């Protein structure tokens, strides 16, 4: 009996050594493909799906070894979505390293800065060499309405209004084969995520529309950079609208002219456009840029104050006034050359 146990133990040890050696060999033994291959991991793909796709594409020979190695390394959730260029000769160890570090990924990055307009985003895409200048502007203009109907936050957007205001500022990554619709969808999806149910409920409780709030937020985004001042400025703007006073926001005039001047000229102030909030005592027809979450929250949660006027000096500091005379004094003090 002892001999049987002894031989069994020896057998288990030998079998274990054999299996370990075989497993290590399979991990380190390279698979040879005909040429460099492009492999894509979609967001949400798990180890089993990735393994299946790798074997189907001829990148690996043994799915079991790949999956076991991933589980032993405790990296089953560490694979990074993206489009990869894989060498024609590669072993499983090296393959896992590439797919978990993002090395050799073929995607590209788009940074949408808070306050960017659709035109700014279009120019960024063009500068990256991904699309031609004007392509995004045209795509937004001609986008399928059935596509837009899937986004509830756009339900109160006038049909003639563009997507200005709803392409949420953030840093994005896209596969090389991404289309303009993919870009637009990703930015809209992010907006949908950032505008939480709590924020939407608050907008509804105030009997305002999402479109109105985003229009206001876009003005706040371009008027005031400091986060603490934004709710105060939002309070001034909403108060002015409710009392029938024009907003007199320079940023809306700059949207008409395409300029970015801190103080608009007398000639520009006379431009007859519904975006000219010096002439028209209402919100402009739509957002003037794509605001970030800070400006959106300020528009939703304005701060009441005794102020009716404000200005931003050359250093970015905001100065408030209770009446026009005080405002004129601030202009002479902080904006004079």
pLDDT digits 0-9 by tens, 227-254:
999 999 999 999 999 999 999 999 999 9
Q: Which residues of the chain does CATH 3.30.1490.480 include?
A: 29-101
Crossing angle, helix 293-300 and helix 210-223, to 10 degrees? 120
Q: pLDDT tens string for the chain (337 positions)? A: 655 665 456 655 655 554 555 445 455 556 655 556 788 888 888 888 988 988 888 888 878 778 887 787 777 667 888 888 888 788 878 888 888 877 667 778 899 999 999 999 999 999 999 899 999 999 998 888 888 888 999 999 998 899 999 999 999 988 877 889 989 999 999 999 999 999 999 999 999 999 999 999 999 999 999 999 999 999 999 999 999 999 999 999 999 998 877 777 788 888 999 999 999 999 999 999 999 999 999 999 999 999 999 988 888 889 999 999 999 899 888 887 6
From CA 9, how far away is CA 156, in angstroms rounded? Answer: 74
Q: What topology is assigned to 29-101 in CATH?
A: Dna Ligase; domain 1 (3.30.1490)
Q: For residues 83 and 105, is the Cβ–Cβ distance under 8 A?
A: yes
Q: For residues 260 and 251, is the Cβ–Cβ distance under 8 A?
A: no
From CA 154, how far away is CA 191, in angstroms rounded? Answer: 11
From CA 92, how far away is CA 150, in angstroms rounded? Answer: 41
From CA 119, how far away is CA 274, in angstroms rounded? Answer: 20
From CA 240, how far away is CA 309, in angstroms rounded? Answer: 9
From CA 66, how far away is CA 323, in angstroms rounded? Answer: 72
Q: How far apart are the first and last CA of the chain?
A: 104
From CA 86, how far away is CA 88, in angstroms rounded? Answer: 7
Which residues touch 155 (CB under 8 Å, ≥6 apart)? 210
With H, G, I as helix, E, B as strand and everything else as coil, classify residue 130. Answer: coil
pLDDT digits 0-9 by tens, 137-163:
999 988 888 888 889 999 999 988 999
């Amino acid at each position: 009996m002892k001999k049987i146990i002894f031989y069994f133990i020896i057998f288990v040890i030998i079998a274990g050594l054999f299996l370990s050696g075989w497993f290590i060999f399979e991990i380190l033994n390279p698979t040879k493909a005909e040429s460099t291959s492009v492999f894509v991991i979609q967001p949400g793909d798990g180890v089993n799906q990735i393994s299946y796709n790798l074997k189907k594409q001829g990148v690996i020979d043994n799915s079991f070894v790949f999956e076991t190695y991933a589980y032993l390394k405790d990296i089953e959730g560490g694979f990074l979505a993206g489009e990869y260029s894989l060498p024609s000769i590669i072993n499983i160890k090296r393959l896992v390293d590439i797919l978990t570090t993002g090395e050799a990924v073929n995607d590209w990055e788009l940074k949408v800065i808070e306050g960017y307009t659709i035109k700014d985003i279009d120019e960024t895409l063009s500068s990256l060499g991904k699309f031609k200048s004007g392509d995004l502007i045209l795509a937004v203009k001609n986008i399928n309405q059935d596509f837009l109907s899937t986004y509830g936050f756009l339900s109160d957007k006038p049909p003639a209004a563009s997507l200005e205001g709803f392409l949420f500022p953030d840093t994005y990554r896209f596969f090389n084969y991404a289309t303009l619709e993919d870009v637009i969808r990703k930015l809209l999806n992010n907006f949908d995520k950032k505008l939480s149910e709590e924020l939407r409920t608050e907008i509804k409780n105030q009997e305002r529309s999402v479109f109105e709030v985003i229009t206001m937020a876009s003005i706040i985004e371009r008027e005031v950079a400091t986060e603490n001042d934004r709710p105060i400025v939002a309070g001034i703007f909403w108060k002015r609208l409710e009392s029938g006073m024009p907003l007199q926001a320079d940023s809306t005039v700059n949207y008409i002219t395409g300029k970015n001047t801190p103080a608009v000229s007398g000639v520009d102030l006379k431009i007859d456009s519904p975006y000219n909030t010096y002439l028209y005592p209402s919100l402009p027809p739509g957002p003037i840029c794509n605001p970030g979450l800070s400006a959106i929250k300020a528009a939703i949660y304005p701060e009441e104050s005794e102020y009716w006027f404000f200005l931003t000096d050359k250093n970015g500091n905001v100065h408030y006034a209770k009446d026009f005379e005080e405002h004129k004094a601030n202009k002479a003090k902080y904006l004079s050359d």
